[in-house]
Structure 1
Amino acid sequence: MPTDRHLRRHIRRHIEPHEVTALGRTMKAEVRTSMMRTRTMMPAEQRAAASRAIVDRVIGLKAWADARSVALFRSIVRKAEVDTGALDAAARAAGKRVAYPVIEGDLAADDRGSPEVPIEDASMGFRWVDDLASLASRGRGFPEPPREAPPVETLDLVIVPGLAFDPAGYRVGYGAGLYDRALPRFPGATTVGIAFDFQLAMELPRGEHDVPVGVVVTEKRVIVTGETS
């Protein structure tokens, strides 16, 4: 009986490139649906304990110890994401500069919080944040820094969210491609994907614009993918 990997190889040989792309998108959509459902069903106490273990493993990384600046993301409770609050506290206690993602320029949401352009076309950067209370929803699905926050030019380490990761560092996010477009702007940064262990997959569909992370951390393991700068 053919394995999934054999099936994927057969598909690549016998259908056109644009059909492979469409198939990859369909597979990613299925992964998103499955992982979101499973993650939101995770008991709150279990999620909190796993989040603490993930934070401990991240803080134990040499890349974290060496980093003078880190980019985090603000966890969204309704999406049952890994809680990054303790990472923010640990970074500040260690004297690191902390940044958060923001939709930039003319592609930002307007003052009423409604998007001016589709999120799939948006450009994401990072801004330095001194106070978590300054983060607010601006119509893009995640809390962002205020527009007047100083922009980030370089970063040592970026914590990357995702709905699924594989051992090669490829990920399935929420589908907008924001991190895939943003990460190449910070070539010197170590990129660390964080997720619960059930979000690991043997192999994920990937496209030509997908950018792998250098390290994947779950509550049970640390995977160095080979993409670490």
Structure 2
Amino acid sequence: MSILKENKKKLRKEYRRRRDAFVGQLDVASRNLSFRRLPSPLARLFKPGQTVAFYRSVGSEAPTERLIEYLTETGVNIAFPRVMDNGVLEFRLVTGPELLESGFRDIPEPGDTCPLADPDVIIAPLVAFDRSLRRLGQGGGFYDRSFAQYPDVPRIGLAWSVQEAAEIPSEPHDLPLDMIVTECEIIE
């Protein structure tokens, strides 16, 4: 394993630990109030009829449920990723959580009956980030491949503020985000 890959692996472990500890100390009310509404700079990106690719938050990831509900109420179409056998994400429209089924790594994914969609905005999960808008993902490269597939689509990361690192090591295939939203601020 290269030194860069080993450094990324260590960072993932450390920032998962930090995220878990931070979320573990939050009371239920504080956690539920986080990421409920879109900050104005982000809200301007979304228009009724657009398709926004979201992820279904798992464990201590920044919660997406309330944002998804809010955007759905404003007329935005929501798509979730589905991991294909070739390691590429495809996005499928979902009108309700009952259309999600256990998929790759037991993460909820849209079923075959959900229509394919091309996103107008991609909201991506992350393990860590830095002020240069570099993102450290789970390590499979799924979102990096999707970013390359949709190079002109805005890429936004959701994270807790404790996931900020001084610097994220990057490789040529690691594409930066356009914006990161935490419970405290927007980084552009």
TM-score between both structures, scaled by the size of structure 2? 0.89
Amino acid at match of 1:217: V
The more displaced of 135-144 and 208-217 is 135-144
CA deviations on 1:54-113 (whole Å, 9 max, x unpaired) are 343456524434462211111113xx1111000110111000111000013xx1xxxxxx
Q: Could you say which residue in structure 2 is the equivalent of 1:86?
A: 66
- Structure 2's unaligned 5+ residue stretches are none
Report the structure, 1 or 2, having the larger strand content.
2
Q: Could you say which residue in structure 2 is the equivalent of 1:145?
A: 110
Structure 1 residue 73 corresponds to structure 2 residue 55 = yes
SS at 2:35's partner residue? Answer: helix
Aligned residues: 186
SS at 2:166's partner residue? Answer: coil
CA distance in 1, matches of 2:79, 2:30: 25
Q: Could you say which residue in structure 1 is the equivalent of 2:4?
A: 24
Whether the 8 Å CA contact 2:37–2:70 is kept in 1: the answer is: no
Which of 119, 134, 154 aligns to 1:190? It is 154
Q: Could you say which residue in structure 2 is the equivalent of 1:112?
A: none
The 5 Å alignment of 1:118-129 reads: 122-129=87-94
Structure 1 pair 216/48, CA: closer, same or farther in 2 (3 Å)? farther
Whether the 8 Å CA contact 2:83–2:89 is kept in 1: the answer is: yes
CA distance in 2, matches of 1:60, 1:132: 27
CA deviations on 1:124-159 (whole Å, 9 max, x unpaired) are 11100011122121243421000121111x322111
Whether the 8 Å CA contact 2:122–2:156 is kept in 1: the answer is: yes
Structure 1 pair 58/98, CA: closer, same or farther in 2 (3 Å)? farther
The 5 Å alignment of 1:43-58 reads: 43=24, 45-46=26-27, 49=30, 52-58=33-39
Q: Percent identity?
A: 28
CA deviations on 1:173-210 (whole Å, 9 max, x unpaired) are 11100000012222332111010001011211001111
Whether the 8 Å CA contact 1:127–1:150 is kept in 2: the answer is: yes
Whether the 8 Å CA contact 1:69–1:157 is kept in 2: the answer is: yes
Amino acid at match of 2:110: P
CA distance in 2, matches of 1:202, 1:51: 28
CA distance in 2, matches of 1:189, 1:205: 23
Report the structure, 1 or 2, having the larger helix content.
1
Q: Could you say which residue in structure 2 is the equivalent of 1:10?
A: none
CA distance in 2, matches of 1:162, 1:47: 22
Structure 1 residue 165 corresponds to structure 2 residue 147 = no
CA distance in 2, matches of 1:49, 1:69: 29
SS at 1:56's partner residue? Answer: coil
SS at 2:2's partner residue? Answer: helix
TM-score between both structures, scaled by the size of structure 1? 0.74
CA distance in 2, matches of 1:180, 1:62: 24
CA distance in 1, matches of 2:70, 2:108: 20
Structure 1 pair 170/51, CA: closer, same or farther in 2 (3 Å)? farther
The 5 Å alignment of 1:101-140 reads: 101-104=81-84, 107=85, 122-140=87-105
- Structure 1's unaligned 5+ residue stretches are 1-20, 108-120, 225-229
Deviation of the 1:169 alpha carbon: 1.4
Computing the radius of gyration over CA atoms, which structure comes out larger, 1 or 2?
1
CA distance in 1, matches of 2:32, 2:182: 8
